[in-house]
């Protein structure tokens, strides 16, 4: 039987229940600040920062109680720390709307329910922006593609991939939805390119069976852009000779030593 003098088991540093000396209540997880209208972007930054610290599981319900050697006191310390970190990256305007929390998951759920509003108008705005997104003459392929990716990423938050939850489906509906979305985005990317520059290559890609992946199409279009830019760079003009012929040059004068009489 262990006696009272036995030291408690230490928490492994790789454990999510471990709190290091550098974990302070005043730390700022991210430079993003929660406002009344940016919950999705803010929550992504917070989630990334906490995953890097192995602490996001306390917010999403993975850890609901202390697991030895974590004690009840350790559990309260972790939640107090997380509440402090969350409140540090919330604007005063939002803080004024919140009650006091001691449990970080309750705070996270409250923020999620209050500020993550999914409405049809935003989805319609994103879909309209995708239809109107075109490559401008002053825009590189990479910049144009990046704008599309930003719209796609935000739309994914509102319209996630369909997946089977009963585990009885044999038609692999999730894979079919991914392939359908990939095909839609391939067409959106190709149809928004400048026709005068990439119309021919676009027709070639769309005539292939099966169609290329979105990443493959982007790589080919980018390669075409690099070749076109390289061909447009003028060759450097030949260097002008620094030598000039003097037409008024006088005959070279003999050295003074050559004019002096020789002494035997």
Digit-coded pLDDT (tens) for 70-114: 999 999 999 999 999 999 999 999 999 999 999 999 999 999 999
Q: What is the pLDDT of residue 245?
A: 47
CB 44 within 8 A of CB 34: no
CA nearest to 52, candidates 11, 77, 87, 20:
20
Q: What is the pLDDT of residue 59?
A: 95
Structural domain boundaries in the chain: 7-117, 120-229
Dihedral of CA atoms 138, 144, 146, 149 in degrees, nearest 10, equals 160
Tell me what the mean pLDDT of segment 146-167 comes to. 82
Minimum mean pLDDT range among 49-53, 101-105, 154-158: 154-158
Tokens of 236: 């450097």
pLDDT in tens, 159-179: 877 776 666 667 777 788 889
Minimum mean pLDDT range among 15-29, 114-128, 135-149: 114-128
Tell me what the mean pLDDT of segment 25-42 comes to. 90
User: φ and ψ at 81, to 5 degrees?
Assistant: -65, -45
Tell me what the mean pLDDT of segment 205-232 comes to. 93
CA distances from 228 to 32, 140, 152, 197 (A): 40, 12, 28, 9
Tell me what the mean pLDDT of segment 62-73 comes to. 93
If one compares 262 and 191, the residue with the highest pLDDT of the two is 191
Mean pLDDT of the residues in the chain: 85
Dihedral of CA atoms 205, 215, 159, 184 in degrees, nearest 10, equals 0
Q: Is the pLDDT of residue 256 over 50?
A: no
User: φ and ψ at 24, to 5 degrees?
Assistant: -115, 150
Q: What is the pLDDT of residue 167?
A: 64
Distance CA 187, CA 193 (A): 10
Q: Is the pLDDT of residue 27 over 80?
A: yes
């Amino acid at each position: 039987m262990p006696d009272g003098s036995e030291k408690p088991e230490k928490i492994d540093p790789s454990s999510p229940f471990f709190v290091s000396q550098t974990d302070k209540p005043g730390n700022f997880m991210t430079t993003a600040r929660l406002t009344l209208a940016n919950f999705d972007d803010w929550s992504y930054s917070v989630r990334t920062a906490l995953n890097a610290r192995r602490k996001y599981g306390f917010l999403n319900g993975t850890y609901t109680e202390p697991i030895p050697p974590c004690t009840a006191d350790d559990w309260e310390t972790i939640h107090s720390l997380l509440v402090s970190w969350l409140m540090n990256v919330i604007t005063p305007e939002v803080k004024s709307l919140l009650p006091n929390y001691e449990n970080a998951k309750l705070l996270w759920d409250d923020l999620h329910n209050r500020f993550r509003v999914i409405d049809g108008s935003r989805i319609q705005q994103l879909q309209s922006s995708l239809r109107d997104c075109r490559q401008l003459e002053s825009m590189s392929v990479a910049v144009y593609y990046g704008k599309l990716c930003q719209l796609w990423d935000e739309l994914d938050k509102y319209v996630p991939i369909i997946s089977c939850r009963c585990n009885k489906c044999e038609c692999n509906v999730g894979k079919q939805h991914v392939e359908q979305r990939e095909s839609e985005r391939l067409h959106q990317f190709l149809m928004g390119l400048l026709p005068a520059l990439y119309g021919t290559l676009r027709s070639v890609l769309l005539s292939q069976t099966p169609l290329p992946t979105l990443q493959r199409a982007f790589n080919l279009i980018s390669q075409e852009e690099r070749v076109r830019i390289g061909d447009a760079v003028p060759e450097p003009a030949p260097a002008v000779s620094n030598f000039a012929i003097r037409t008024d040059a006088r005959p070279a004068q003999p050295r003074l030593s050559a004019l002096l009489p020789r002494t035997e």
